[in-house]
């Protein structure tokens, strides 16, 4: 049976983790695929890690990691990618905006010999939805102009990657981690597919327009033409506090 690893960066999301786990489990039972869930707690202020411990105790397929401090979502993702064992890896957020059931669409698409498939909202985010819209516009413009992204491809946090691409990503030494930018350092066959995108089930977004602007400036400095050679390191950009695999 083919194993798929699901990497979930966790931050202040105790309220959604139980629902996320059960819906992932049901989805993979339907697909007849072996499931591995890797939850990485980015030093949450709530008791997310306690809930993760509970899930791990009840189902050893749930692997859990707690970082020593808040290193940011991308470093949490990189940490999770270092511990996957599946032939393919799904990356998704912890807030249920992307329904776990939509993984089926990513899975079927990547079987058409793609290296990475990004799930995009079937209904585009509108201008009147504020910084989420303009943040996406800025990101897409940056990737089109500065990053070696295949023409026409849009990026999102919901995606599936082949195992060999994951192995290339975790070997990258750029000092500022951004998984999609690292992905496009390599010659990849990429695709988009429309997926459902819901409002947050519980809680609130952890990003603001200011944080997004700061993020994209860092991407430019670390991955843009003429800058990338300056942004190298031999060290991981995070430290692990607790781990149960």
Reported as a single tens digit per residue, the pLDDT across 93-149 is 999 999 999 999 999 999 999 999 999 998 765 544 555 666 667 777 777 776 778
Q: Is the pLDDT higher at 40 or at 223?
A: 40
- What is 3-124+154-198's CATH superfamily? Spore Coat Polysaccharide Biosynthesis Protein SpsA; Chain A (3.90.550.10)
Rg (Cα) of the chain, in Å, rounded?
Answer: 17
Run of H or E including 203:
none
CA distances from 67 to 71, 157, 173, 212 (A): 8, 20, 19, 22
Nearest to 10 by CA among 187, 149, 206: 206
Check residue 131 and give its pLDDT: 57
- How far from 177 is each of 15, 132, 213, 230, 236, CA to CA, in Å? 28, 21, 16, 14, 10
Q: What share of the chain has pLDDT > 70, as a percent?
A: 86
Q: The pTM is what?
A: 0.90
Copy the structure tokens of residue 68: 């020593």
């Amino acid at each position: 049976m083919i194993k798929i690893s699901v990497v979930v960066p966790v931050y202040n999301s105790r309220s959604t983790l139980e629902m996320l786990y059960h819906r992932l489990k049901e989805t993979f039972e339907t697909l007849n695929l072996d499931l591995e869930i890797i939850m990485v707690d980015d030093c949450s202020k709530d008791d997310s890690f306690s809930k993760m411990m509970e899930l791990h105790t009840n189902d050893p397929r749930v692997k859990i990691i707690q970082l020593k401090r808040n290193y940011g979502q991308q470093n949490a993702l990189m940490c999770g990618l270092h511990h996957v064992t599946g032939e393919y890896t799904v990356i998704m957020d912890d807030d249920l905006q992307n329904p776990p059931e939509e993984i089926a669409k990513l899975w079927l698409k990547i079987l058409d010999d793609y290296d990475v498939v990004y799930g995009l909202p079937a209904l585009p985010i509108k201008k009147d939805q504020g910084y989420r819209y303009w943040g996406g516009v800025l990101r897409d413009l940056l990737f089109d102009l500065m990053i070696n992204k295949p023409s026409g491809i849009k990026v999102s946090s919901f995606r599936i990657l082949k195992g060999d691409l994951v192995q290339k990503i975790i070997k990258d030494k750029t000092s500022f981690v951004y998984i999609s930018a690292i992905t496009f350092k390599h010659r990849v066959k990429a695709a988009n597919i429309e997926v459902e995108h819901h409002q947050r089930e519980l809680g609130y977004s952890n990003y603001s327009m200011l944080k997004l602007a700061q993020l994209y400036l860092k991407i430019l400095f670390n991955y843009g033409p003429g800058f990338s050679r300056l942004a190298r390191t031999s060290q991981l950009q995070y430290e692990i506090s607790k781990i149960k695999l």
